Amino acid sequence: MRSHARVGYNQGRYRITAKGSTMTNTPYVFPETLPGQHASALVARDNQVMVPMGRVYPLVVDHAQGCEVWDVDGNRLLDATAGIAVLAAGHCHPRLIRVAQQQLTRFTHMAGTDFYNEPMIRAAEKLAALMPQGPAWRVFFTNSGTEAIEASIKLARYATGRQNIIAFYSAFHGRSYGSLSLTASKPRQRRGFFPLLPGTFHAFYANPQRPPLKSDPAHVTETCLNFIEQTLFQTTCPPDSVAAIVIEPIQGEGGYVVPAPGFLAGLRQICDQHGILLIADEVQSGVGRTGKMWGVEHEGVVPDIIASAKGLGGGLPLGAMIARSEVAMQWQPGSHGNTYGGNGLTCAVAHELLTMVEEELMANAAQVGAHLMARLQEVAAHVPQISVVRGRGLMIGAEFVDPASGNPNGKLADAVMEMCFRKGLLVLTCGASTIRFCPPLTLSMAEADEVAERFAVAVRAVL
C-alpha cells in the first residue's frame, strides 16, 4: 500500500487537536475564536468519513444569502470565494430559487443525450446567443469543468484527425485524465497519477509579472509565441500534428494571471496558420466574471471551442462545451454523450442565471470589480509584501512576495488567507502565493469596501 505522510494523522490539511484547531505546516499562531464548537465537531466527523482533501480552513457552512455565509456556530462571514467562483448570482438568489422550485415540480432528469427537453433547449439557445458574435455555435452540456474539457479534447481530435494538444505551464483544466494531462499547476496534482494522456505538450503562458526563464518583461508575448513556433513546432511537436491549443484567458488556479496584451491574438494567428483549433477554458473566467461574458472578449479573440462550468449553473453542477457549428457537427450521433448533461433542473436554473448575467451581473462585475481592485491596490500600496493586485472584473488576485528577493511567499499568502477567515472574510489562495477574490457577481460597492477593509485588517494582523 502506498505510504502517505498524513495517514493516521489527519484526513485533510486541517486538523482539530485537543487545544483547538491548527493549520498544518504553518508557523503562524491565530486567535482561537474560530472554529466554534459545532464546526469543530463536524470537522472531526468529516475527518472520519471523507477521503483526504485540500481543505484550507475550517469553515462549516450552515446557511448563506447573497455574499454572506453563516457558519454552524452563528458566525457571519463575507464570501469572496463564491464557492470557488461558482455562485455568480450569490447564495440562494430568489430568482433562481423560484425557477428551481417550479422545475422541481415538473421534472428533474430525463437523460438529455437520449431524449429532448425544453429547459435544455432554452439554456442552449441562450448560451449560443451569448457567444462571441460571428460564427454559429453548438452546445454540449456536461456536469463539471473537467468534463467540458474532456469533451473539448475529444471533439478537437475527432474534428481535426490530429492527436496532439498544447496547453500552458501553470494552467489548471481539471483532474480527470485528459484534463489533468493539460493541467500544469502544482506537482501534487499529478504526483502518483502517471502515465497521463499521450500527445500533450506545454508552452509558456505570457505572464507579464513573471516572464518565463526571466526573459525580458517588455517582450513576454513574443517570447512565449516564439517558443511555440520556434521550439515546439521545430523540435518535438510538428504543427500539423496539433489538434488544439487550450488556454485560460486568465489563469485561475495558476494565480489569477492576466496574459500580456496580444498573447491570445497571437495564439489565434498560430492556430489559423496551421489549422489548429483554439480552445478557451472559460470555466473560471466565463459567464460574466471578468465584466464581459467571456474572458477572451477583452482581447477581441474568437476561439473555436469554449469550455464553461462553475458560474453557469448558478450553484448547481453544470458545464458546457460550446463549439463552432462546423467543428461540432463533425461528431456523429453517439460519438459523445453522458447521463446527466441537459438535466432539466440545472438547465432551467442556468437559463435564468444567464438572463441575470446578461441583464445586470456582468455590468456589476465590471463596475464593482474596478472599485474592489482600486481598494485592494490602496491596501497594497502600504504593504511591500504585496507585489501586485491584478485581474479583471471580479476575478482579482493579490500576489504575496518576499520584498527583498521578489520571490513568491506562499506561506505568507496562506497565513493571510487563514487570518481573513478569522476576521470574517472568506478568500482562497491560488498559484504560488496569490490570494484570489472571486465573490458573487452581485457584490455591492459597500460589500466591496468591507472585503477590502477585512483584508487590510488581516494583512496587518499577520504582518
Q: Which residues bind ligand PLP (CB under 6 A)?
A: 84, 144-146, 149, 172-174, 248, 252-253, 281, 283-284, 309
Partner residues linked to 277 by β-bridges: 244
d(CA 9, CA 335): 45
Q: Which residue has the cell 485524465?
A: 177
Q: State the cell numbers at 450.
A: 468591507
Nearer to ligand PLP, 391 or 424 (CB): 391
Nearer to ligand PLP, 66 or 174 (CB): 174
Output the smallest distance, CB 68 to ligand PLP, in A: 23
Output the smallest distance, CB 397 to ligand PLP, in A: 13
Output the smallest distance, CB 317 to ligand PLP, in A: 8
Nearer to ligand PLP, 189 or 226 (CB): 189
Spatial contact of 119 and 318, defined as CB atoms under 8 Å apart: no
Output the smallest distance, CB 12 to ligand PLP, in A: 17
Sign of CA dihedral 377, 381, 386, 390: positive
Task: Please state, in angstroms and as integers, the Cα–Cα distance from residue 446 to each residue in 64, 183, 379, 442, following that order.
Answer: 18, 37, 16, 11
Nearer to ligand PLP, 16 or 316 (CB): 316
Q: Other C-beta atoms within 10 Å of 225: how many?
A: 20
Nearer to ligand PLP, 40 or 251 (CB): 251
Output the smallest distance, CB 188 to ligand PLP, in A: 15
Spatial contact of 442 and 356, defined as CB atoms under 8 Å apart: no
Nearer to ligand PLP, 93 or 289 (CB): 289
Task: Please state, in angstroms and as integers, the Cα–Cα distance from residue 299 to each residue in 136, 178, 258, 361, 375, following that order.
Answer: 20, 27, 11, 20, 25
Task: Please state, in angstroms and as integers, the Cα–Cα distance from residue 108 to each residue in 118, 124, 142, following that order.
Answer: 12, 17, 15
Nearer to ligand PLP, 39 or 149 (CB): 149
d(CA 249, CA 247): 6
Output the smallest distance, CB 222 to ligand PLP, in A: 25
d(CA 201, CA 237): 8
Output the smallest distance, CB 149 to ligand PLP, in A: 6
Q: CB-based burial of residue 423 (10 Å sphere; 0-12 exposed, 13-18 middle, 19+ buried)?
A: buried
**Buried b / exposed e across 141-160, counting CB within 10 Å, b at 16+?**
bbbbbbbbbbbbbbbbbbbb
Output the smallest distance, CB 179 to ligand PLP, in A: 6
Closest-approach residue to ligand PLP (CB): 145
**Which ranges of 115-262 would DSSP assign to H, the alpha helix?**
118-129, 145-160, 177-182, 220-226
Nearer to ligand PLP, 28 or 169 (CB): 169
Output the smallest distance, CB 281 to ligand PLP, in A: 5
Nearer to ligand PLP, 95 or 202 (CB): 202
Nearer to ligand PLP, 252 or 424 (CB): 252
Element (H, E) at 349: helix 344-356
**Which ranges of 382-435 would DSSP assign to H, the alpha helix?**
410-422
d(CA 374, CA 445): 12
In single-letter form, the type of residue at position 246 comes to V
Output the smallest distance, CB 70 to ligand PLP, in A: 25
